Structure 1
């Protein structure tokens, strides 16, 4: 399953219906549970941006192989909102925060599960595929906000050519949803709909509330001070540079590595690049390896004494060396904070951050480097459950992550074997950042794919295309030969023309 923008999803022509949660103003009640750090920061940013807030949502698209029944879908969405308190909560801005000695300028309000209704707006006529895209994209871009409920909106499309099924597309603000929520919802909504339509048990487990998690996280963060070991480790990471990384990544917060002067290792761009509006970042979605190639890469990583995650990181290190002259690479990695069973499939933003500094040392091949790189990848892993925002405040570092790399193995997710059948894809909106670079690398049953967003301007976009093409080359060299060298000249001088200096 790919992670792309809505523009990359093959939306069908058909009849669009909007399904909007609704509630009476008098049914809302104040809730004392505090917002998570990331939720509070997100709400503050939305308040600062004001009316210019636009195109900042995530979501999922997938087909349900049953006819669309309005009553069943309305019941499905009522049940979905009932199962997750995050969907039934919102924020309210407190006046006179300083005068009232309240730390958070945003409080929380919540509504009971039985007080949510669903309003239905179905088009009279079908729309073209392009019109469907424009309709859904503009709806999500303009209506989804961390400051206005509902924070999750749903649309369906009944295709003209397949009356026995329909497409479901939902978008949500990040404060009520993360990537795992996006994925879990495919199974959850399908079972809820089949239960409502066919009358059988949905067989879904229940989980805890993100609101409880958020309140507990704030209590945990309150124990931090300038001398806490986790604070010191983040501070050391942001301050420490080897000679090589100070050249290629000079900022305290890791940025996308600087390449050698143009012309020394030019490569072409990958396919499916979206840079249609200078306000928004470039977007790319591509398959790095198919299922068979992924398994071969996995076996090469295991043969060298590590796992595929370490193999991916090592390939990134080799790529950096080929383009910048050093294998040292620093980035930020998002990690989930679902550390207890009760948070397992709860809807919410269960995401922490860890710093990563890959240092292959004197290694000059993939098989030599993967061990040291694996150790580096584990170095800060335990920091993922410690909220970063209070740490940033304590050390006076407010720069948001600039270079982010995520690797996730989703093969074990329930229902993963059905994603292709349901044409499932997780979605993200366009992003207006000028300098951030994000790579999402996902292993799923059908292979390994990459989604990226990056500056759309020259030379930033070219640098990213160049990096990713080299990265793909490195992966394929390892797939073909089981190993490869850091230096491209050595990698291509193998006996018999085999890359990596080794025979298969």
Structure 2
């Protein structure tokens, strides 16, 4: 299943319709919900709130994830409407909104409001017929960018692109509502809900727990923990050599000063408010380029997995080992310092839930002696084991406990989607995970997914002044391709 930046998605043009969630009476009819907000969600809202306060605009901070699903049949309007409404009813996170409020002393507090099942309906907006994919994608991307602002409800939107004998269903949501695994499962759920409605039968779906219940339980438990918690200790050891913050990434030619964030590099804007005065605007910052490729087919991926097992390494350790070898060759750095997202779906109740079930685990892999792939894979496997406790507390709680500054500059994610229903169909082009573009100039993200078809990579990195990242990714791919078979 490909993971693509929206403008790279190969969606066939056709008639575009946007489906906008709404509730009669607006948020004023919703009930106050006492369940606590997750730390991930609050951290995300803090960032968006501070950005809006500084720039007086919502755009430029796009952080949505989405999915596109292909159907080889004419679109049934009643069935697709029923499927999308059923999806909203199934996942409570799509029927809630968190309001962030900042007190005069700089402290934040959150208030959650929710609405019941069957209260959300969809407004159908016919946008027009498109004959060219680039123009279609520009419209969809712009619409999703505007619709998924995290400080408003709904922070998600559906769209369909219909053709005489096929159609595409698209769904996008702000990151506060979904994670990558949510979108992998969404392709099956939305397909099944559509077919069930079309065939007039009950959908064959497992129960899905509510992310709101998870958030509440996780928040209350995390807020009871102190700096002696293993996660806080793991992070404290990680940041200690770097002065309490994240180290710069030597892949970047001109890394920004320590402690800065992507928002610090946003161009100034013109304030058109009455009495606001005009500020000269700098040229728009280009969004990050991306790379998507099949690293290894299924046979090659199995060969690599066998190599890792023979080397005494895990598959994740082998991938990190290859990345660390490529990192050393590209930068001559003594350590490969990386943050790895770790899922927090630790209970079967959350297996099919829509939400942001992610913790962050830091690790520093020693590469000062230029290890070969076997040794690097072993060291990386040990580092993964040692760092696993880092994701046991949400990062915002860790930061509050020990004072971590800044944000990660090198992130590597791994996910195995082979157990997901319809994974083979999705992998053959039946569905794709999508993401918004990003403007950050101080971070490199690499996603590696194991799918039925093999190992797929998606990466994004700064657009200006970076020459090392493409070489780093090329070498990583070559290392995987050259893995020897068992003799």
Q: Distance in 1 between matches of 2:91 and 2:305?
A: 37
> Residue 257 of structure 1 contacts residue 329 of structure 1 at CA under 8 Å; is this kept in 2?
no
SS of equivalent to 2:205: coil
Q: Distance in 2 between matches of 1:166 and 1:346?
A: 26
Q: CA deviation at 1:32?
A: 1.1
Q: CA deviation at 1:304?
A: 1.5
Match of 1:257 among 246, 250, 258: 250
Q: Distance in 2 between matches of 1:260 and 1:65?
A: 46
Tell me the equivalent position of 2:233: 232
> Residue 255 of structure 1 contacts residue 331 of structure 1 at CA under 8 Å; is this kept in 2?
no
Match of 1:87 among 90, 94, 111: 94
Tell me the equivalent position of 1:191: 192
Match of 2:366 among 359, 363, 378: 359
> Residue 19 of structure 1 contacts residue 154 of structure 1 at CA under 8 Å; is this kept in 2?
yes
SS of equivalent to 1:158: strand
Match of 2:156 among 152, 155, 173: 152
> Are 2:32 and 1:27 equivalent residues in the alignment?
no
Q: Distance in 2 between matches of 1:57 and 1:14?
A: 23
> Are 2:67 and 1:68 equivalent residues in the alignment?
no
| 1:234-293 Cα deviation digits (max 9, x unpaired) | 11111137xxxxxxxx984144335999xxxxxxxxxxxxxx974322222122222222
Q: Distance in 1 between matches of 2:176 and 2:368?
A: 40
Tell me the equivalent position of 1:49: 51
> Residue 358 of structure 1 contacts residue 376 of structure 1 at CA under 8 Å; is this kept in 2?
yes
Tell me the equivalent position of 2:331: 324
> Are 2:350 and 1:343 equivalent residues in the alignment?
yes
Q: Distance in 2 between matches of 1:194 and 1:414?
A: 15
Task: For CA contacts below 8 A with separation 6 or more, give which structure has more relative contact order.
Answer: 2
Q: Distance in 2 between matches of 1:235 and 1:283?
A: 32
> Residue 144 of structure 1 contacts residue 152 of structure 1 at CA under 8 Å; is this kept in 2?
yes
Q: Distance in 2 between matches of 1:278 and 1:482?
A: 45
Match of 2:481 among 469, 476, 481: 476
Between 173-182 and 217-226, report the one with greater CA deviation.
217-226
Tell me the equivalent position of 2:264: none
> Residue 181 of structure 1 contacts residue 346 of structure 1 at CA under 8 Å; is this kept in 2?
yes
Between 405-414 and 363-372, report the one with greater CA deviation.
363-372
**Counterparts of 1:169-318 in structure 2 under 5 Å?**
169-240=170-241, 252-258=245-251, 278-318=285-325
> Residue 427 of structure 2 contacts residue 452 of structure 2 at CA under 8 Å; is this kept in 1?
no
Q: CA deviation at 1:41?
A: 1.3
> Are 2:129 and 1:136 equivalent residues in the alignment?
no
Q: Distance in 2 between matches of 1:277 and 1:298?
A: 44
Q: Distance in 1 between matches of 2:133 and 2:231?
A: 50
Q: Distance in 2 between matches of 1:191 and 1:311?
A: 36
Q: Distance in 1 between matches of 2:429 and 2:378?
A: 39
- RMSD of aligned Cα (Å): 2.5
Q: Per the alignment, do residues 315 and 409 of structure 1 end up closer, same or farther by CA in structure 2, a change over 3 Å counting?
A: same
Q: CA deviation at 1:178?
A: 0.5
> Residue 249 of structure 2 contacts residue 409 of structure 2 at CA under 8 Å; is this kept in 1?
yes
> Residue 176 of structure 2 contacts residue 355 of structure 2 at CA under 8 Å; is this kept in 1?
yes
SS of equivalent to 1:166: strand
Q: Distance in 2 between matches of 1:422 and 1:346?
A: 24
> Residue 259 of structure 1 contacts residue 324 of structure 1 at CA under 8 Å; is this kept in 2?
no
**Counterparts of 1:90-105 in structure 2 under 5 Å?**
90-94=97-101, 104-105=108-109
> Residue 34 of structure 2 contacts residue 112 of structure 2 at CA under 8 Å; is this kept in 1?
yes
Q: Distance in 1 between matches of 2:50 and 2:436?
A: 20
| 1:361-401 Cα deviation digits (max 9, x unpaired) | 86843234433331122111133221121211222223111
Tell me the equivalent position of 1:407: 414
Tell me the equivalent position of 1:18: 18
Match of 2:432 among 412, 417, 425: 425
Tell me the equivalent position of 1:501: none
> Are 2:169 and 1:168 equivalent residues in the alignment?
yes
Q: CA deviation at 1:233?
A: 2.2
Q: Per the alignment, do residues 277 and 293 of structure 1 end up closer, same or farther by CA in structure 2, a change over 3 Å counting?
A: farther
Q: CA deviation at 1:354?
A: 0.4
| 1:386-436 Cα deviation digits (max 9, x unpaired) | 112121122222311111011222222222111134531111111111111
SS of equivalent to 1:176: coil
Tell me the equivalent position of 1:247: none
| 1:185-213 Cα deviation digits (max 9, x unpaired) | 00000000011111122111112111111
Between 27-36 and 175-184, report the one with greater CA deviation.
27-36
SS of equivalent to 1:419: helix
Q: Distance in 1 between matches of 2:97 and 2:339?
A: 29
Q: Distance in 2 between matches of 1:30 and 1:10?
A: 42
Q: Distance in 2 between matches of 1:446 and 1:117?
A: 38
Q: Distance in 1 between matches of 2:396 and 2:443?
A: 18
Structure with max Cα Rg: 1
TM-score by length of 2: 0.87
Q: Distance in 1 between matches of 2:162 and 2:251?
A: 47
> Residue 46 of structure 1 contacts residue 53 of structure 1 at CA under 8 Å; is this kept in 2?
no
